[in-house]
Amino acid sequence: MFFSILLFAHFQAAIIPILLGIRSINKFKHISKNKLIPFGFIFLGLASISEMIDHTQTSWIYVDHSSLLNWLFYSFLSLGLTCLSISVIKNKFIQKANICISLCSIISYFSFDKTISLLFQVIISILLIINWQRVFKDWLFILYPIFGIIFTTFFGTRLSISGDQFWHVLIGPSGTISVLIFYLVLKRSEKKFT
């Protein structure tokens, strides 16, 4: 029973972002770089798929390790958040800076350490929050850092410390809620900008 719940938690974390990405194609024309939005969602779904495949190597038990699939998870996460962030930025310099930070996150995973890569992920998330809040000014967006950063980090930390797989089940749905928040903010912005 627990395995089924764990599998469902991961499956929905992969499928929902991909479906939202497909649904976002040729939408949100009021966003300057709207073509990046589907890629952002799809990359987030691919991150979850990479994590699922990685879990098949560990019998679905969370193991804090570095591997090619774990690198793909963090790489797709970085790319997804960066695409969403730069989709609303008009300034070319800031766009390029975001892309460079994303590449640093991807490269540093194997070049230095996963911890360094995570520091770049924090910067990517901060830039995303700043950029989206500046453009959308939507109170709903405050839920993204709560579910996408605070809760997922809390659940992941509890999982790493305790080894209790219960925490593992909560991470995927928390991440999915943050993805749904992105989509809802985009949908609500259509009314504001048109």
- Is 2:166 a contact under the CB 8 Å cutoff? no
At 61 the pLDDT is 81
The encoded tokens of residue 140 equal: 């709903």
Of 120, 110, 119, which Cα lies nearest the Cα of 66? 110
pLDDT tens-digit series, residues 34-83: 999 999 999 999 999 999 999 888 888 877 788 999 999 999 999 999 99
DSSP 30: T
Q: What does R_g of the chain's alpha carbons equal in angstroms? A: 16
DSSP letter for each residue of 80-145: HHHHHHHTT---HHHHHHHHHHHHHHHHHHHHT-HHHHHHHHHHHHHHHHHHHHHHH--GGGGHHI
Model confidence at 194, pLDDT cuts 50, 70, 90, reads low
Question: Residue 98 sits in which domain range?
Answer: 2-193
Looking at every residue in the chain, the average pLDDT score rounds to: 93
Distances (CA, A) of 165 to 30, 56, 63, 134, 135: 42, 15, 10, 38, 38
Of 75, 157, 91, which Cα lies nearest the Cα of 130? 91
| Domain tally, the chain | 1
pLDDT tens-digit series, residues 129-146: 999 999 999 999 999 999
pLDDT tens-digit series, residues 96-128: 999 999 999 999 998 988 889 999 999 999 999
